[in-house]
Amino acid sequence: MNVKELYNISFSGGRTSGYMTKLLLDNFSDKYDFVVTFANTGREHPKTLEFMHNCDKYFGFNTVWLEAVVHHGERVGCTHKIVTYETACRDGSVFEEVIKKYGIPNLTFQPCNREMKLNTMRSYRKSVGADSALTAIGIRADERRRINKSATDMRIEYPLIDIWPTDKQDVLDWWEDQEFDLGIEEFEGNCLGCFKKSDSKHFKQIAKDSSVYDWTERMESLYSSVGPQDGDRVFFRHHRSTKNLLAEYRAIGGSVNLSRTDPYADAGCSESCEFLPTEDFDKATGETK
């Protein structure tokens, strides 16, 4: 009896990674023993969690839902715990524990991805003997700029580039034919109030529901001095705090049509956050390189 090679699929909760997961399971389950994993930050859009639950229910993904375990006072990265759709954190407390130890994340300092995605998944893979397994990430052919330069060394694969070249419209068309969909607007993304978003996306989110930013404002009020940086650390581009961001929105009178003036309209934030940092940012300007 041949033993199949372990292969990890990183399901981020977005349409693209969901589509990729379905393709891999349908086409290569005879070759690989797939392990589908999702790392929950506690700041995922509620519809993201519902979408993932539906993927498990309708498609049989059997996703392993993970959350970070922070080890305060120790020089060790996050490990993992296994949760479920029902028990997954929804109040941001997992994210807050990471901030308590490492500080507030922003474009040039991203412990959120490192600790709640990369280290958490690495911890789980090691626990099941899959620490050296290939890992698939849902980056499309029209998102090549998001490929990590160390992907080969880290045994990362991009099936929607190398096996099934796919663009955004391909993914949208496929989901239109399914019984369910993600159901969130593009400007929202999976991570509520993510610092990678452009100003236009933030302003649209503020217009729809400004309470999303209550959490980021509270984090800044409690933990802005945590970390080795000079001065206070805040979330948003150009060293802006949540209060700065909300003030700028009020200053433009609630207008959110910034397509001509927002230089970051298409930068930094896709529909979901992958478990491996995929973009390089200029530390002075915050622009994607």
pLDDT at 227: 85
- The pLDDT score that the predictor gives to residue 115 is 96
Burial category of 6 from C-beta neighbours within 10 Å (exposed 0-12, middle 13-18, buried 19 and up): middle
Q: Dihedral sign for Cα 263, 247, 192, 102, please.
A: positive
Q: What is the mean pLDDT of the chain?
A: 89
Quick one: average pLDDT of 108-119? 93
pLDDT at 187: 87
Output the pLDDT for position 254. Answer: 63
46 within a domain of the structure (yes/no)? yes
Q: Is residue 143 part of a domain?
A: yes
Residue 270: inside a domain: no
Q: What is the pLDDT of residue 146?
A: 85
For residue 136, pLDDT beyond 90 = yes
Q: Do the Cβ atoms of 202 and 210 come closer than 8 Å?
A: no
Residue 184 domain-assigned? Answer: no
Residue 236 has pLDDT above 80, yes or no: yes
User: Would you say residue 243 lies in a domain?
Assistant: no
219 located within any domain:
no
Contact 276, 236 (CB under 8 A): no
pTM value > 0.85: yes
For range 36-56, the mean pLDDT: 97
pLDDT of 285 higher than 60: no
Number of Cβ within 10 Å of residue 285's Cβ equals 13
Residue-level pLDDT at 206: 95
Question: What is the share, in percent, of the chain residues with pLDDT greater than 90?
Answer: 74
Task: Return d(Cα 27, Cα 159) in angstroms, integer.
Answer: 12
Query: Predicted confidence band at 231 (pLDDT cuts at 50, 70, 90)?
Result: confident
Residue-level pLDDT at 257: 58
pLDDT at 52 over 70: yes
Q: Give the bridge partners for 106, in sequence order.
A: 109
Range of the domain at 130: 5-176
* CATH number of 89's domain: 3.40.50.620
Task: Work out how many domains the chain is built from and give that number.
Answer: 1
**With bands split at pLDDT 50, 70 and 90, how would you rate the model's confidence at 2?**
low
pLDDT of residue 252: 86
Please check whether residue 92 lies inside any domain of the structure. yes
| Structure-token pair, residue 239 | 């060293």
Q: Would you say residue 140 has pLDDT above 90? A: yes
Residue at 159 is within a domain = yes
What is the reported pLDDT for 264?
Answer: 39
Q: Look at residue 3 and tell me whether its pLDDT is greater than 80.
A: no
- pLDDT tens for 178-220 read 999 999 988 898 999 999 998 999 999 999 999 999 999 999 9
The 3-state DSSP composition of the chain as helix, strand, coil percent (nearest 5) reads: 35, 15, 50
Q: Is the dihedral of CA 193, 107, 189, 122 positive or negative?
A: negative
Count CA atoms within 13 Å of residue 39 on its CB side.
Answer: 29
For range 135-143, the mean pLDDT: 94
